[in-house]
Structure 1
Amino acid sequence: MKKLAFLTLAFFSMTLAVAQKETEKAVIQTTLYCNHCKACETCGQNFQKNMLKIKGVKMYDLDEAAMKFTVYFDPKKTNLDKIRQGIANLGFDADEVKANPEAYEKLDDCCKKA
Structure 2
Amino acid sequence: MKATIFSILFAFATTFGFAQSDDKEKVVKVKTSAICEMCKERLERNLGLSKGVKGADLNLDNKVMTVKYNPKKTDEASIKSIIVNTGYDADGMVADQKAHDKLPKCCRKTAAPHSDMKH
TM-score by length of 1: 0.71
* Alignment partner of 1:23 out of 16, 21, 25: 25
Q: CA deviation at 1:98?
A: 1.1
Matched residues, number: 94
| Gapped regions of structure 2 (runs ≥ 5) | 1-16, 112-119
Please state how far the C-alpha of 1:20 moved relative to its aligned partner.
Answer: 7.3
Hey, what does 2:99 align to over in structure 1? 103
Identity of aligned residues (%): 33
Matched, 1:85 2:81: yes
Output aligned runs, 1:52-67, within 5 Å.
52-67=48-63
Query: Matches of 2:44 and 2:63 in 1, distance apart?
Result: 17
- Uncovered stretches (5+) of structure 1, i.e. residues with no partner: 1-14
Structure exhibiting the larger radius of gyration computed from Cα positions: 2
With over 3 angstroms needed to count, the CA separation of the structure-2 counterparts of 1:48 and 1:71, relative to structure 1, is closer
CA RMSD of aligned residues (A): 2.2
Cα distance change, pair 55–25 in 1 and its aligned pair in 2 (3 A): same
Q: CA deviation at 1:48?
A: 4.3
Report the Cα distance in structure 2 between the residues aligned to 1:101 and 1:54, rounded to whole angstroms: 21
